[in-house]
Amino acid sequence: MADRDHKELSGAAGVNRRGLLKCMAWAGTGVLWTVSGGVPRSLGLLGEAAAAETQAGGLTFLQISDSHVGFDKPANPNALGTFQEAIAKINAIPTQPAFIVHTGDISHLSKDKEFDDADQAMKALKQPVHVIPGEHDVADADNGKLYLDRYGKGTQGKGWYTFDAGGVHFLALINVFNFEPGFKSAGLAKLGDEQLEWMEKDLKGRSASTPIVVLAHLPLWTIYEPWGWGTEDAPRALGYLKRFGSVTVLNGHIHQIQQKVEGNVSFHTARSTAFPQPAPGSAPAPGPMKVPAEELHSVLGVRTVNYVHGKSPLAVIDTPLGA
Amino acid sequence: MSHWTITARLAAFGLGMSLVAAMPNALPAGEAAVTANSAAVRIDNFSFTPSTLVVAPGTTVTWTNADDSPHSVREKDGKFKSAALDTDDSFSQTFTAPGEYDYFCSIHPYMTAKIVVKPAGSSS
């Protein structure tokens, strides 16, 4: 389906960008739900379509996630290596994205050496990298001190921040500091009152036509409660976002692509550059999923996001490392 | 005090077994006499085993991560906490004060368990 659409589009000079973006967004959504067992080949073709499209202008940025530098178990004996590979692939994109976002779990065990290795790898990138922590980045005995010392400069509260690019307002949120331990609840992530109040203030004076991109490590919608794949107080955050015409939420954590659209808000989780995790509820626990070595690259990946001013929605294209 | 309670507690002392798993008849002869000052909790498949461990004051509990994911041990009010434990890493904590200690994995907070510290022979 997507393959055919792509060919039709690339052959039709009269198709405007809105049409193409719409189609790509549809195609991306369409192939999405078939992705759990493997990677549809058409994603690679979409990637090519996106690359061609970005040359025509607009803001393109790229999301990487869950690099887990330091991980060396059978599911991927060299997570630093696959992270470096992802970075090399980014550097090979003909039209470079404006910047990179890393949606957390930079390291595997919050160790200095892991952060050092990850930083060293990211130095090869030509553009700025905006990072947020995953729970693996704040698992030191000091509750995230190592992460904040390294990446927290110039941020608010416990590391959250905003930035603007190409007319888009970005909110980099952190939902790995206020976990609700699962004694009486599901053990979901939390943004916490302090951050939510800051977020409400930040959004207050903004025009509803400002496109918003929200970054957070754990999904801001509950994907699978028994594994803690959700954020307990996300509804409050989404309440502040409701009046905006275009809201895109980019998450990591679950090492697989899931997407959902609710009103003006679209939610996306990204692949990991390190190892895949099982589909919700398909395994006894959400640990690293071992796949045959020759298949690993097909379940790891990076994501480019293209925003053309005045046109929505944002086009989100996932590309496997093996493509 | 019932026979069940005594046996289960002794089993927990000596073997780090789950209260649920310690059936009265399953306790091998001889192990009831063990005076344990150490006990173990195994972390595997995203859970703590046993999920409730009863120990006497002075017992050192050692958690060992047998999973291929890292986990941590954090008491709910921060009374004790480990750094992230990689596969085969251990963390130990000695319990002196009687009481109930709820703890969780800060990396996977839905993983919860409990240490109960009470003097041997107490029936509460």
Predicted local confidence at residue A319, as pLDDT: 80
Mark yes or no for CB contact A286/B87 under 8 Å. Answer: no
Chain A: closest CA distance from residue B100 (Å): 13
Range with the largest mean pLDDT of A30-39, B2-11, B62-71: B62-71
For residue B51, list chain A residues with Cβ-Cβ distance below 8 A: none
Higher pLDDT, B54 or B33: B54
For residue B82, list chain A residues with Cβ-Cβ distance below 8 A: 141
Give the other-Cβ count within 10 Å of A173's Cβ: 26
pLDDT-above-90 percentage for chain A: 56
Q: Contact A220/A234 with Cβ under 8 angstroms?
A: yes
Residue A148 falls inside a structural domain? yes
Chain B: closest CA distance from residue A182 (Å): 4
Strand partners, A319: A302
User: Quick one: tokens of A202?
Assistant: 């930040």
Domains identified in chain B and CATH numbers? 36-117 (2.60.40.420)
A108–chain B Cβ distance below 8 A for any pair: yes
Q: Contact B100/B69 with Cβ under 8 angstroms?
A: no
Predicted local confidence at residue B7, as pLDDT: 36
Residue A229 falls inside a structural domain? yes
What is the distance between the alpha carbons of residues A95 and A105, in angstroms, rounded to a whole number? 27
Chain B: closest CA distance from residue A142 (Å): 8
Number of domains in chain A: 1
Residue A23 falls inside a structural domain? no
Q: Contact A106/A118 with Cβ under 8 angstroms?
A: yes
Confidence of residue B33 (pLDDT cuts 50, 70, 90): very low
Confidence of residue B51 (pLDDT cuts 50, 70, 90): very high
Predicted local confidence at residue A45, as pLDDT: 29
Residue A35 falls inside a structural domain? no
* Residue numbers of chain A with a pLDDT score lower than 70: 1-57, 309-313, 323
Q: What is the DSSP string of B73-98?
A: -EETTSSSB---B-TT-EEEEEE-S-
Mean pLDDT of the region B18-46: 60
Domain range spanning residue A131?
58-320
Residue A281 falls inside a structural domain? yes
Q: Which residue of A has its CA nearest to B69?
A: A287
CB pairs under 8 A between A and B: 78
Residue A80 falls inside a structural domain? yes
CATH code for the domain of A248: 3.60.21.10
Predicted local confidence at residue A61, as pLDDT: 87
Nearest to A135 among B83, B86, B107 (CB): B107
Q: Pick the residue of A137, A138, A179, A185 with the most B CBs within 10 A to test the interface with B by mutation.
A: A179
pLDDT in tens, A129-158: 999 999 999 999 888 999 999 999 999 999
What is the distance between the alpha carbons of residues B124 and B118, in angstroms, rounded to a whole number? 8
Q: Which of A11-15, B93-97, B104-108 has the lowest mean pLDDT?
A: A11-15
Predicted local confidence at residue A313, as pLDDT: 64
Residue A39 falls inside a structural domain? no
Mark yes or no for CB contact A288/B102 under 8 Å. Answer: no
Residue A3 falls inside a structural domain? no
For residue A141, list chain B residues with Cβ-Cβ distance below 8 A: 81-83
